[in-house]
Amino acid sequence: MNLEIESQTKEFAKKMNEMSMSIQPMHEIFYYYSISYTAECSVRAFDYYEYLLTTKNPPAIQLVGAVQEAIAHAGALAFYFWNNGSNKRLPNEIQTFISQRSEYLKSEFDLNDDSALKDRRLRNTFEHFDEKLDIALLNTLAGTFYPMPIIKSHTCIEEEQISKYFKLLDIEEKCLVLLNQKFFFENIQTEVEKIYQISLEKVKL
């Protein structure tokens, strides 16, 4: 498959846009399988997290790792539904096509802008995470640092102003903290499972 954007690519995208045709019917299955795979990865990571909670003294690094993996896949999943095609490196025709495709898939999976997956931080936090870590550390010159994963209430972020948590998990409130940013993941998990179930039905069509 050719991944280069050529003149005929832009022309075909323009025709699709003018026809208000987001995805050709024979191409839908490619999106359905891609969505199903990404959703399954997130579901399996959440399932592993739930399993760890049933074991005796599960290591914090495994608990945090499972939730982080689940949320990372959820962030990747969100791109299919909330991508407005704003990548300025792409031709306008492709940007418009991507935006229309995202809207179409949202309707196909019964999603709206109230979804927990719309949170742009989901996608941004895990993209180039190493660079975000660089910036966070450069901007934090003083305080008590906790580089290891910790199981603790997320309220400590506000209560301990000088404390800097790299990775923290609040099991009771289902909240993951990365670089002092909070992600409440219960609704994320519910939405991912919904998308996964719909995708299973669609790939059977």
Domain range for 146 is: 27-203
**Average pLDDT of the segment spanning 144-159:** 89
Whether 201 has a pLDDT exceeding 90, the answer reads yes
* Residue 64 confidence (pLDDT): 95
In a domain, 39, yes or no: yes
Domain count, the chain: 1
- Domain-embedded: residue 15: no
153 in a structural domain: yes
In a domain, residue 140? The reply is: yes
Q: Is residue 9 part of a domain?
A: no
Query: For residue 75, what pLDDT is reported?
Result: 92
| 184 within a domain of the structure (yes/no) | yes
Q: In this structure, is residue 159 part of a structural domain?
A: yes
Q: What is the mean pLDDT of the chain?
A: 90
Report yes or no on 4 lying in a domain: no
DSSP string, the chain: ---S--HHHHHHHHHHHHTT--S-GGGHHHHHHHHHHHHHHHHHHHHHHHHHHTSSS--HHHHHHHHHHHHHHHHHHHTTTS-----TTS-HHHHHHHHHHHHHHHHHTT--TTSGGG-HHHHHHHTTHHHHHHHHHHH--SSEEE-S-EE--TTHHHH-TTEEESEEEETTTTEEEETTEEEE-HHHHHHHHHHHHHHHHHHT-
Mean pLDDT computed over 157-166: 83
